[in-house]
A and B are shown apart, each in its own frame.
Chain A
Amino acid sequence: MERLDLLLLAIEALDLHGSEAMLWSCEQLDLQQPFPDRVALWKTRCRNPLRRASRRGEWSIEEQEGLIRLVCSLSQRLYPMLRQLLSSSEPDELTNQRWALFQERYNDLISERMNLKRGAVRLLLDQKTGAQRRREVVQTLALCAGGAGMQRLGACLMDGY
């Protein structure tokens, strides 16, 4: 639950119009049943217990599958950007600038929406562990992009990682 929401948060950090892209993708992927509008999507994401205003309850299978499809579809859209971040053949200076920009946006979104009293959230914002967590998030998005990524992401979420 936490991981999917953090992946969506990373997508928002990578794409300034990420939240609009999510709504548009919901229409394109025919996900209007679980997420008919912006509020329904926001309520579903608020089930993440790390959220500042967390809502009780579990996701239904339909909601979980919908979010997995949404993450994989948006990752495919952002794949060139994800690739640039992960590539070692890009100039170091440029790569560092890209990571710094991503870090700034991602940490801002976390500070704005997550409960900063939680240890897991503090680890995300930590200087030492945060960089590794951000890299893992970008790696996950790059490796689960596209249609076949859904099965992979679904299986790894079942691991509880």
Chain B
Amino acid sequence: MNSFGGMALRYEQSSCRLELKGLPDVSAQPQSPSNSELLLSILTSWELNLGQRASLQGKREHLEALVETVLPYVRLMLSGAAYKQTSKSAVVVVAPRGRGHQLQLISSQPNTPPLDLQLDDAELADLTQCLDQMLLDPRQGLSFKQPLLKPKKHQAAAPAMVHSWAAPSAAIAAVALCALVAMLLPIPKPLLPASPQPIERQKP
């Protein structure tokens, strides 16, 4: 904490450094009586330094966009199904490119071209580690919405159920229709046996 009451939190890896600056929310109740430390609850600025390649700054929304894009992308990559992820506000895009990953950051400033970075696996892992450390840090109280890391099967449960019920339902409907049609057909009347005709005997 500095002399103005501001706080700074820093998370570092070899190729990545994330720094959050902000203020504690003094009006908020401490989480527990034993934990009277103030948490960084009001984010004034943040800076992400990707080695000598780029230094990014932004508002809380931009950091949230980075979290909601990078972590689900990494999650899908672990399942061998990584594909392009775009944040809701469309300011961050992560996608596979070549043997690495494309990180595109679209500036909110007018006349500023988007920043396009190529990350290798190690740099992506460093970025993930920094974001993980930030989200798990008990010193920050920013209550970021953590992206859901559900298994893919669970996400696809609803359409799968429709598919699993479709075939048996169609089969039962077809049987019922056949039965209805069969009931509508008139029952053929049994043919009465013809009365026996006397056979005239021929005289020899």
Contact = CB atoms under 8 A, between A and B. Distances in A.
Contacts, number: 79
A38 B22 CA distance: 48
A84 B14 CA distance: 10
Interface in A43-83: 79-80, 82-83
Contacts of A127: none
B118 to A, nearest CB: 9
Contact of B120 (A80, A87, A143, A148): A87
A8 interface: no
Among A83, A88, A144, A148, which residue has the most Cβ atoms of chain B within 10 A? A148
A1 to B, nearest CB: 15
A83 B128 CA distance: 12
Contact of B125 (A86, A151, A153, A155): A86
A153 B152 CA distance: 13
A120 to B, nearest CB: 15
Interface residues of A, number: 29
A145 B129 contact: yes
A146 B120 contact: no
A152 B75 contact: yes
B123 to A, nearest CB: 8
B151 A147 contact: no
Contacts of A145: 125, 129
B79 to A, nearest CB: 5
Interface in A127-150: 136, 139-140, 142-149
B201 interface: no
Contact of A89 (B99, B120, B128): B120
8 contacts: A83-B122, A88-B100, A139-B121, A143-B125, A143-B128, A155-B151, A158-B153, A158-B154
